[in-house]
Structure 1
Amino acid sequence: LSWGAGGMILGLLLGVAVALGLSVSAEEPDLRRDPRYLRLEDHLLSDDWEGAEADARALILLHPGDPQLHCYLGDALLGQDDQEPAAARAYEAALALDPAHPRAHEGKILALLGNRDFAQAKLACERAIALYPEWGPLYRRLGNARGELEGFAAELEELEHALELDPRDWLAYRQRSTARLIAELDLDDAERDAHAAIEIVGEDEASLYDNLVEIARRRKDYQRALHLSALAQGAAFRDAQVEELMVRRVGVLLDMPDTPQHQWLQQAASEVAFLLEAFPKNGSTHAQHAALLIRLGKFNEAIQANERALELYGEKHPRSAKVVRQNNEVLRAELERRRALGDGQER
């Protein structure tokens, strides 16, 4: 799961309160006049998570009974790496002050999902739905949790409910498209959902092209996959988006057979070299490096690249890590087979 950049996190959470007709301004006049309060919001909107955290903590010392400040602290922590448990505690502090606070419910759910605590995320979704049964995004989040706990059929069930409540929820369409791809369901259905999301939000949302690229790749329509990848990179506005899109493009290039006119493997090697230099801490970069090394017959080096990918994936990307581990098992088995045949050299 990717939660988006700063403006997106704060914007989504602020939008919760607006959609439910609730005030998002603090009630205490002294707090509203405090320059740190406005600065705090500016920090959140500009992705300055550490600055936001510092201001939120300072203001909480002065106004410990304001649930919104605890939510802002949660937002600031949620934007930082590996701070999901602390973010969840901040949102819980807000809920202790106001058990019906919608932003606190949404934030806690996001933090639990980010920490892969799916059982607690499911319970948190169910509690929030009991308070706000018509709030469609809650069913999307419940779909995330149930999908991990119970399988894709459960996730699709919740996404259907989300779309019944809001037929223009493009995030639900995107999530359903992704779920269909991961479950290896019908590609046409996954494609329809991806296009439905694009029709709603427009063609400038780079993340919407991810699934279309993958669909074209599975259909072996590599030229279309490359074209869609280029469109996605043109629409990308965050470094993280560009990074993931370039990694995906390398995957397409590695799938393409070389021809006299096009040396795709050489192009893939060039792009992998760039990714390793530009994004050395991206696990998928090293996984694609391993895929390149496999194409080149360098199995031992591929195993090492996969091991580096596993280090970087940690526990946050279990599906990707599972694939990498399986690949290494296959590579080690092949090397063992070659040694048994007296052919230990890599080709």
Structure 2
Amino acid sequence: MLTIQALLTLVPFVLAAPLIQPRAAETIPGKYIVVLKPNGPSAGEIFADLAGGALASVRRERTYDLGGFKGFAASLSDAQVEALKGDSKVAYIEADGIAHTQAAITQSDAPWGLGRISHRSKGVSDYAYDTSAGEGTCAYIVDTGIYAEHPEFEGRATFVKDVAGSATTDDNGHGTHVAGTIGSRSYGVAKKTKLYGIKVLDSSGSGAWSDIVTGIQLAVSHSKTQSCPKGVVVNMSLGGGKQQSVNDAVAAAVDAGLFFAVAAGNDGQDFSSTSPASEPKAFAVGASDVNDKLASFSNYGRTLGVIAPGVNVLSTWNDGGNNTISGTSMATPHVAGLGAYLLGLSGPLTPAQLKSKIQSSATSGAISITYPASLGTPNKLAYNGIS
């Protein structure tokens, strides 16, 4: 397939910014994310210039200024899209779409994942870890929010903001479950990390990509105001069809120093056509079961970061109790928590250094992977290196 990048090498100049339609995605009619060229003015500075003629009635719904990633989200008519495509300050325009959590509720009682990531062999139920346990780190959960008052969080959890509404807690449960695997007292990998919930998904577990980009930006800006001397990790247990603006926002946040663990997805297919897992600077996570098999639902691919426990994972819930659910959503916080745990041990690392550390310490060849996932998917199971 001829890509936009390939087209740019074949022609000496571009007459109009491309309009990108997300692949295999649920788009939101009439809503777009407009990404500006990185070396130009900010969205706020140039919007007055853009908003002439056909654009006079455009109202920005979101504004993005995250290092090299700049732009805005707005409701646009076809004529307004065409007008923006002709503006030299616009890099590309992308239809807004919907992302979802990557989990499915099941019934089980066995919290086995912590034992698995702290031993080279399966079947060990205890969790071995260094008592530093992620102290001095901050973990951001970009999800359905967090029930910060859960006793398992021991006062270390904060609901930062609902970027799409006015909720003040997790009205779904998914985000609280993810946070518990990262850093709760009983179910967490990094039991002393500070937990920050940013709500970008609604009570049904769905949300607009434009709101998710806002959540990514908020994680970067908010973390700068907190005490996180050993580093910051971000968990994104959500996904949908490939959305370039979301990938670019994640890349900019990684460039700002934040490590991103992202769900590979639950479609049982290569994740190269999904976001944010397809972003190379993120760390995509697949799911395994208690028998060390790649979960039947888990996405896969040659650039998968690691595999982690993701079937029948017990963790915190938004009613103050616990729940057991499955998905790459549940595998990912094992790795975000592992990132916080390793930062707590070593001190600050760049995201690239932390990715390398997680991959080099992983247990190789432990997971049974069948065709077609076996074609090139790295067989590496997350491990905390305690031995």
Which gives a bigger RCO, structure 1 or 2 (Cα 8 Å, sep 6+)?
A: 2
Larger Rg: 1
TM normalised by structure 2 equals: 0.24
TM normalised by structure 1 equals: 0.26
